[in-house]
Amino acid sequence: MDEHIAALRRDGFAWIRGGLGDAQSALEAAHELISARCAAHGDGLPVVVGDFVLPPLDGPPTRDFQTLHFDFGVPLDPRVPKDLGRWTALHVCSGASPVTAATRLVPLRGLLSQRDWPPREELLDRLSSYGRTHGAWDDTLGYVEGSLARLVEAATGEAALPSVKTEPGFLCGMEFHNLRAEAAFFERHSVPLDGVEVEIGLRPGDLLIFDNLSHAHGRRGTRCPGELRQWVFGDRELNVARQVAAREEVVSAFDRRCVDRTVGPGAEAASVP
């Protein structure tokens, strides 16, 4: 367990390969690991704020990719208490159908350090302005953003993706039709995914845990109904002040001076061709 705690601290994610055949044992392992990491960091112990079977047992298979995102979103302009996702755990039970999909992880600091960004106050203004015109802004609830692409677009000050606010039929997460289109978007904004993105091919009995505020995640490939169990650990009804503190963790990734450019061995080991 110590090596996985070290991986969470060093790389922002830990991959337990095999040995966790059922959901209960995986949940217990995830809770133990995340609790140990939080205790070592001086943080309060998280609770499960989300528990999902993906895709649902009674639904169809997923499409062949999922865009990069943050579970429960990043509170960019919080106004009211809300649940916040800090850690995500993904598990494939033993006996699942042959798994062909791979989880995609993108560390924010590694991605955003590839170019310069405006000073903090200007950046915050851009994020709020984007929320009012293109994000799921609500004057009473504020602005929470789950899409990595929209976070990047907001920071550039140049909005081109469909507006969630003015196009009622548009569904969040459908910004891109395929991986190629998503990769082209980040390339255009001078933050290419190549060399930064890590792919992890979970197999039955595996458990993946990652920091949901330092890593965006998505998927390459299709998942069959009931293939994946997902838990999101975090805080329930987190007050606005603490949401702002969580936002600062994300915003700090835009500051190149804060970036540790070293990559731990765990990231290399987790890469899948």
- Our count of domains for the chain comes to 1
Q: What is the pLDDT of residue 258?
A: 66
CA atoms within 13 A on the CB side of 26: 27
CATH number at residue 75: 3.60.130
Q: What is the pLDDT of residue 183?
A: 98
pTM, whole model, 2 decimals? 0.91
pLDDT one-digit tens code per residue, 99-157:
999 999 999 999 999 999 999 999 999 999 999 999 877 878 899 999 999 999 999 99
Task: Indicate the average pLDDT of the chain.
Answer: 91
Q: What is the pLDDT of residue 219?
A: 98
Q: Is residue 265 part of a domain?
A: no
Q: Is residue 269 part of a domain?
A: no
In whole angstroms, how far apart are CA 96 and each of 62, 146, 227, 228? Answer: 15, 29, 6, 9
Domain range for 63? 2-260
Q: Is residue 155 part of a domain?
A: yes
pLDDT one-digit tens code per residue, 39-96:
877 777 889 999 999 999 999 999 999 999 999 999 999 999 999 999 999 999 888 7
Judge residue 227's burial from the number of C-beta atoms within 10 Å of its C-beta, 0-12 exposed, 13-18 middle, 19 or more buried. buried
Q: Is residue 266 part of a domain?
A: no
Q: Is residue 270 part of a domain?
A: no
Q: Which residue has the higher pLDDT, 246 or 260?
A: 246
DSSP line for 12-56: SEEEE-S---SHHHHHHHHHHHHHHHHHHHTPPPPEEEEEEEES-
Q: Is residue 20 part of a domain?
A: yes
Q: Is residue 44 part of a domain?
A: yes
Mean pLDDT confidence for 222-240 = 96
Q: Is residue 271 part of a domain?
A: no
